[in-house]
A and B are shown apart, each in its own frame.
Chain A
Amino acid sequence: MPKKTTGQSYKELSRQLDEVMAKLQDPETAIDDATNYFEQAMELIKQLEKQLEEAENKVREIKTQFTGE
């Protein structure tokens, strides 16, 4: 499995996830490959979640700076 480097944009990671998901949904996909794709999907989801959380935290931080809440 190609290890995705960090620094890829959310959009790019999201596009890759869509691709992997499409293969995962394909009934022609062999179960061994499916396991691979599933692992890739999980890895991508993990990265996406990490980025999303970072974004959420950053927004929260900015808001605090401006409202003092």
Chain B
Amino acid sequence: MNGEQVVLSVSDFVALVNQTFEYAFNSIVITGELANFRISKNKWVYFDLKDEFASVRFFGTVYALPGPLEDGMLLEVRGSPRLHPQFGFSVTVQSMRPAGEGSIKKAANLLEAKLRQEGLFDDARKRMLPYPPATVGLVTSKESAAYADFVKILNQRWGGIGIQLIDVQVQGESAPEQIVRAIEQFNQSAIQPEVLVVIRGGGSADDLQAFSTEQVTRAVAASRIPTLVAIGHEVDVSLAELAADVRASTPSNAAEMLVPDRKDVLRALQLQAAELANITERVLRDHRESLVAMFEMSTKLTDDNLQNARRNLDHKKNLADILSPEAPLHRGYAIVRDTSGKIVSSGRKLQTGAIVNMQFIDTNAEAEIKRIKLRKDS
């Protein structure tokens, strides 16, 4: 019996065990409580999974981590068992994720805290979206109601916006990677859309999980194109939404936030037009009123001037009438002239028998001087 027994070297034994493992357990999923979790040199990950009765060592890289982890969390780890030539038995990790509601929540909280600490959710990072954008890069599933709703409402409200879709799976294992690639593709394209919109309709927490993964959240935060993210219903808040420049509650709401309703814009334009017409009318009316006032003023000034001139002239005319040499004749005076026509202002120059001419107001009369008598006082 002993003679037939194959004796192996240690190395051969290790190789044989590993071959057997590869054949029998190429990829297995083990669930258990995390213990002795540690990261070495920022690259290697060591931990144990245990339950009441057993504990198994695991080894992997940080790239397989779903996010920050803490001892005590329940994990589901996919991996392949391996016997290391020096360090003994361990399971090499292919992928891992938190399992059980408590652990998932805990993992999510830890990830959120970590990203918040890094500043990914800071308000200071938030950018304004162009309003309305000319082009939209859309990341969602083409088959989803979210896509149909978004496009329908966008076109109802505004229209004419170029929508470029990158069709991705929005749940399942490959979803995060596809979403990240889509976001990067838009950012690297020669003609970038003006806004990047990432949407998904409602679903269970598990369905929405892709949008709370570290890689998707980081991709949204890193996007050079401003981002608008709407995942699930109003109550659901994914980490990708927190990292987005703008968050909408639903895909429909995202469309509403992205563009104004053309009906509202038209109404506002009509109001503005009416207001402009009012202002213009008022300005014209004001000008007309001041013109009328100026017209009336200049008319009045001109009238006053003419009236003054008229009054002045009438006054002088009256004065001239009064000063008229003939005025005294009205009162009974007469002008006496000699035969040569010279005015006789003194009787001393006359002699008895001389002929004089007397001018009355209405007639001329010739007279002969009969007698000349000096007046006592002259």
Chain A residues proximal to chain B, CB less than 8 Å:
10, 14, 17-18, 21, 24-25, 30-32, 34-35, 38, 41-42, 45, 48-49, 52, 55-56, 59, 63, 66
Chain B nearest CB, measured from A14 CB (Å): 8
A38 touches B320 (CB 8 A): yes
**What is the 8 Å Cβ interface bit string for chain B, positions 289-332, against chain A (1 contact, 0 not)?**
00000010001001100100110110011011001111000000
State A54–B321 Cα separation when bound (angstroms): 24
A32 touches B343 (CB 8 A): yes
Given A59-B303, A63-B299; A52-B320 close (CB under 8 Å): no
Chain A nearest CB, measured from B74 CB (Å): 97
* Interface-central residue, B309, B323, B343, by most chain A CB under 10 Å: B323
**What is the 8 Å Cβ interface bit string for chain B, positions 350-373, against chain A (1 contact, 0 not)?**
000000000000000000000000
**What is the 8 Å Cβ interface bit string for chain B, positions 140-179, against chain A (1 contact, 0 not)?**
0000000000000000000000000000000000000000
Known: A21-B320, A21-B323. 17 other contacts (CB 8 A): A10-B309, A14-B312, A17-B316, A21-B316, A24-B320, A25-B319, A31-B325, A31-B335, A34-B323, A38-B323, A41-B316, A45-B320, A48-B313, A49-B313, A52-B313, A55-B306, A63-B299
Residues from 324 to 346 in B contacting A, C-beta threshold 8 Å: 324-326, 335, 343
User: Which residues in A have their C-beta under 8 angstroms from that of B343?
Assistant: 30-32
Chain B residues proximal to chain A, CB less than 8 Å:
295, 299, 302-303, 306, 309-310, 312-313, 316-317, 319-320, 323-326, 335, 343
User: Which residues in B have their C-beta under 8 angstroms from that of A10?
Assistant: 309
Chain B nearest CB, measured from A19 CB (Å): 12
B323 touches A66 (CB 8 A): no
State A52–B313 Cα separation when bound (angstroms): 9
Chain B nearest CB, measured from A34 CB (Å): 4
Chain A nearest CB, measured from B345 CB (Å): 9
30 sample A-B contacts, Cβ–Cβ < 8 Å, listed by A number: A10-B309, A14-B312, A21-B316, A21-B320, A24-B323, A25-B319, A30-B343, A31-B325, A32-B343, A34-B323, A34-B325, A38-B320, A38-B323, A38-B325, A38-B326, A41-B320, A41-B323, A42-B320, A45-B320, A48-B313, A49-B313, A52-B306, A52-B309, A52-B310, A52-B313, A56-B306, A56-B310, A59-B302, A59-B303, A59-B306
Closest 3 CB pairs of A and B: A24-B323, A34-B325, A41-B320
Chain B nearest CB, measured from A55 CB (Å): 6
User: Which residues in B have their C-beta under 8 angstroms from that of A21?
Assistant: 316, 319-320, 323
State A43–B267 Cα separation when bound (angstroms): 76
State A59–B323 Cα separation when bound (angstroms): 33
User: Which residues in A have their C-beta under 8 angstroms from that of B295?
Assistant: 66
User: Which residues in A have their C-beta under 8 angstroms from that of B302?
Assistant: 59
User: Which residues in B have their C-beta under 8 angstroms from that of A63?
Assistant: 299
State A59–B343 Cα separation when bound (angstroms): 48
Chain B nearest CB, measured from A60 CB (Å): 10
Chain B nearest CB, measured from A9 CB (Å): 12
Chain B minimum-CB-distance residue to A17: B316
Given A56-B306, A59-B303; A35-B325 close (CB under 8 Å): yes
Chain B nearest CB, measured from A51 CB (Å): 9
Chain B nearest CB, measured from A68 CB (Å): 13
User: Which residues in B have their C-beta under 8 angstroms from that of A66?
Assistant: 295
* Interface-central residue, B299, B324, B335, by most chain A CB under 10 Å: B324
State A48–B299 Cα separation when bound (angstroms): 21
User: Which residues in B have their C-beta under 8 angstroms from that of A48?
Assistant: 313
Chain B minimum-CB-distance residue to A42: B320
B323 touches A25 (CB 8 A): yes
Given A52-B309, A59-B302; A45-B325 close (CB under 8 Å): no
A31, A45, A55, A59: which contacts B316 (Cβ < 8 A)? Answer: A45
